[in-house]
């Protein structure tokens, strides 16, 4: 087992997709030394096989050194610190009354930063634009690609299927290629995207997506299978659905800077499309089952953090429903590190809830639409969330801070562009709407150094 780069302030971005890979690697006598992939690489082998995560993973992770460069620096004596130049760690500005207060903001340990965006809901116009463009979907979100890639891990909700050659009934038909033909590749009410979208997501720095949402079955059960196969082909980790006839885990594992995060997605419903094979993990049914999964995951010694990504709530409501709040509280109590919601197509607030074992749980109820054609201002206004985690030596990770970049979908003619509002001098009304909910102090200027740590004594 080779030592992995970890926790440093300048280490390479290095997520490792490990869905079922370690059990396989151990069975094959492999030491699991593949650690990081360079940005835009698709050459990570381990996401293709779905298998249960075994307890033996803890053996692999325990083989790693516990202390990283940051903990070493923090452990230096006061005299040593006095002699050293000031550390170059960028720190977040002082909080305001909208900034979540986190009890472990200043805890020492290894750190990672996670970027999260909301719904990829690619309506007709966006698909037509992308399929006709030489750079495909970068034509839509290329303007924020660097903001995603600078985090250690990036997440989005993939709202729709990527099922080549399937019509709305899930029947195999001739695939038209990158063409919005309304038969294979289609928009509301049943979304299906050309699988080249997934290559673009990987090249944009995305490491993990939710596939549990109300459009998961838009190409029937066969579409779930095809989407999972397409995701596995590009080595993009996914959570919340599974192929027919498989009993693999619902969660995905990512690894960056030596920290393993389990991702668990669920859907409140599937637009009344039947799910005869139980391929979509539900948020509320059976009652308590999701919370039980969280408890099992966080109890796993090899897992440092659990992030739940529920697709829930009422569309277009800027406040979470009571059911969302209650489930968030139960997920926090079960040990979730963070809960990152989507589905309402508008932003819903964040808050800190008391979690398990004295840790806080950061909840953001809805991230809004990342990319869509929904013309109303609240539906075009969203954010890129940066979540900072710290893992103290020998303990579970906890959230140390959050920042965000206000985003906006600009429409020019029939073209759509995801933009960082502050980068392009974007619409003041969109920015005001977002900042009113999340505060000014947590805004990260798009060209500022990425910093989620607060200034600590
Ligand atoms: Zn939805």
Distance CA(258)–CA(111), nearest Å, equals 9
- Which segments of the chain have a pLDDT < 70? 1-88
**Interval between CA 259 and ligand 1 midpoint (Å):** 30
**pLDDT digits 0-9 by tens, 229-288:** 999 999 999 999 999 999 999 999 999 999 999 999 999 999 999 999 999 999 999 999
Q: What is the pLDDT of residue 85?
A: 52
In this prediction the pTM is 0.82
Question: 124 in the Ramachandran plot: left (φ > 0), alpha (ψ -120 to 50) or beta?
Answer: alpha
| Residues 65 and 3: beta-carbon distance below 8 Å | yes
CA 314 to ligand 1 centroid distance, Å? 9
Q: How far away, in angstroms, is 344 Cα from ligand 1 center?
A: 7
- For the chain, the distance separating the N- and C-terminal CA atoms, rounded to the nearest angstrom, is 36
User: Which residue in this structure is represented by tokens 């495909």?
Assistant: 136
Residue 100: its pLDDT value, please? 94
Q: Using CA atoms in the order 342, 362, 292, 302, what is the torsion angle rounded to 10 degrees?
A: 110
Distance 213 CA to ligand 1 centre (A): 6
Residue 457, exposed/middle/buried by CB under 10 A (0-12, 13-18, 19+)?
exposed
Comparing CA positions, the residue from 444, 449, 373, 446 lying closest to residue 411 is 373
CA of 318 to the centre of ligand 1 (A): 15
Phi, psi of 81 (to 5 degrees): -60, -40
Asked whether the CA dihedral 234, 240, 243, 246 is positive or negative, the reply is positive
Ligand 1 center from residue 119 Cα (angstroms): 7
Tell me how crowded residue 72 is: count the other CB atoms within 10 A of its CB.
11
Ligand 1 center from residue 370 Cα (angstroms): 12
Distance between CA atoms of residues 112 and 259, nearest Å: 8
110 within 8 A of 68, measured Cβ to Cβ: yes
Q: Which domains does the chain have, with CATH numbers?
A: 16-83 (no CATH), 110-438 (3.60.21.10)
Place of tokens 């440093």: 8
Contact 135, 192 (CB under 8 A): no
> What is the 3-class SS of 199-238, one letter each residue?
HHHHHCCCCEEECCCCCCCCCHHHHHHHHHHHHHHCCCEE
C-alpha of residue 108 to centroid of ligand 1, in Å: 38
CA of 215 to the centre of ligand 1 (A): 7
User: What is residue 447's predicted lDDT score, i.e. its pLDDT?
Assistant: 83
By DSSP bridging, strand 338-340 and strand 110-120 are: unpaired
Cis ω before 371 (30° cut-off from 0): no
- Residue 454: its pLDDT value, please? 86
Say what the pLDDT of residue 47 is: 29
127 within 8 A of 185, measured Cβ to Cβ: yes
CB contact at 8 A, 252 and 19: yes
Please say whether the beta carbons of 181 and 235 come within 8 A: no
Angle subtended by helix axes 322-334 and 289-299, to nearest 10: 30
Q: Which helix (H) or strand (E) holds 399?
A: strand 398-412
User: What local confidence, expressed as pLDDT, does residue 88 receive?
Assistant: 60
CA angle 152, 156, 161 (to 5 degrees): 135
Task: Kindly give the distance from the C-alpha atom of residue 214 to the centroid of ligand 1, in angstroms, as a whole number.
Answer: 5
Give 100 Cα–ligand 1 centroid separation in angstroms: 26
Ligand 1 centroid–CA 107 distance in Å is: 36
Task: Give distance in angstroms: CA of 381 to centre of ligand 1.
Answer: 16
Sign for the CA dihedral angle at 143, 147, 153, 154 comes to negative
């Amino acid at each position: 087992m080779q030592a992995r780069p970890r926790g440093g302030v300048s280490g390479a971005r290095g997520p490792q997709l490990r869905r079922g890979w370690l059990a396989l690697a151990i069975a094959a006598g492999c030491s699991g030394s593949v650690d990081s992939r360079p940005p835009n690489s698709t050459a990570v082998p381990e996401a293709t096989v779905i298998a249960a995560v075994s307890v033996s993973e803890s053996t692999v992770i325990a083989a790693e050194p516990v202390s990283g460069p940051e903990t070493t620096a923090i452990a230096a004596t006061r005299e040593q610190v006095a002699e050293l130049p000031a550390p170059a760690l960028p720190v977040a500005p002082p909080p305001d009354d909208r900034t979540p207060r986190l009890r472990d903001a200043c805890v020492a340990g290894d750190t990672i930063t996670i970027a999260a965006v909301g719904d990829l809901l690619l309506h007709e116009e966006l698909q037509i634009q992308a399929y006709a463009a030489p750079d495909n979907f970068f034509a839509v979100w290329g303007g924020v690609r660097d903001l995603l890639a600078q985090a250690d891990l990036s997440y989005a909700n993939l709202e729709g299927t990527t099922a080549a050659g399937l019509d709305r009934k899930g029947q195999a038909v001739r695939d038209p290629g990158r063409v919005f033909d309304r038969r294979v590749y289609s928009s509301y009410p049943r979304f299906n995207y050309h699988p080249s979208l997934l290559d673009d997501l990987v090249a944009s720095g995305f490491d993990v997506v939710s596939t549990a949402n109300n459009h998961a079955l838009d190409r029937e059960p066969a579409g779930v299978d095809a989407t999972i196969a397409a995701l596995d082909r590009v080595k993009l980790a996914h959570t919340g659905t599974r192929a027919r006839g498989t009993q693999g885990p619902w969660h995905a594992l990512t690894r960056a800077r030596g920290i393993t995060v389990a991702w668990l997605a669920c859907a409140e419903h599937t637009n009344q499309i039947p799910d005869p094979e139980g391929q979509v993990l539900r948020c509320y049914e059976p009652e308590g089952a999701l919370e039980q999964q969280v408890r099992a995951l966080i109890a796993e010694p090899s897992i440092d953090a659990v992030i739940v990504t529920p697709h829930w709530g009422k569309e277009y409501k800027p406040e979470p429903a009571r059911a969302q709040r209650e489930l968030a509280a139960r997920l926090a109590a079960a040990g979730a590190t963070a809960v990152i919601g989507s589905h309402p197509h508008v932003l819903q607030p964040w808050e800190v809830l008391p979690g398990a074992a004295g840790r806080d749980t950061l909840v953001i109820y809805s991230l809004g639409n990342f990319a869509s054609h929904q013309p109303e201002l609240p539906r075009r206004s969203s954010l890129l969330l940066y979540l900072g985690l710290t893992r103290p030596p020998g303990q579970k990770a906890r959230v140390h801070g959050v920042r965000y970049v206000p985003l906006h979908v600009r429409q020019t003619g029939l073209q759509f562009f995801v933009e960082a509002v502050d980068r392009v001098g974007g619409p003041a009304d969109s920015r005001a709407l977002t900042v009113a909910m999340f505060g000014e102090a947590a805004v990260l200027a798009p060209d500022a150094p990425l910093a989620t740590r607060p200034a600590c004594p």
